[in-house]
Structure 1
Amino acid sequence: MLIFFGKPGRKRRDALRAVGLPPIQILLPDMHHARFAEECRRQALIVAAADAADHNLWAFLNDVLADVGAAGKV
């Protein structure tokens, strides 16, 4: 990941602006924060519950696995 600070960073940002690329800022969660793992687990459980309840998804995945298995035997 590139992080531009100071004069070199300003020069790079100015060059990007000159070609029409506006500066952006991407905020990321602090993975070292005590609640990060807890929040990841909470969201993973929500996704897992939604996937388990989606019978169309399971049918699709089974069809894909059958196709992959059939393709591997050729």
Structure 2
Amino acid sequence: MISRIAGGDPGCSNGNCPTVYVDDQAPDTVIIQGDHLDPTSTAAVGDIPVHEGLLRIPRELIISAYDELTKAQP
């Protein structure tokens, strides 16, 4: 099951971006939804493998996701 742990900007057209999710089938990873980087920013990062991508998300979202993830720790 994939669950939202942070995000859901009410200013977003559908209310769920940018967002951080967790997948109980892959607990050591997070899924991040956000805006794609513009070509200039992407080029500045360098070569990205075709199976990977870059997303720009607010810093506050990472902090919120971290807080939620650490609550789940034993």
TM superposition score category, shorter chain reference: under 0.3
TM-score, normalising length: structure 1: 0.25
TM-score, normalising length: structure 2: 0.25
More helix by percentage: 1
Higher relative contact order structure (alpha carbons within 8 Å, sequence separation ≥ 6): 2
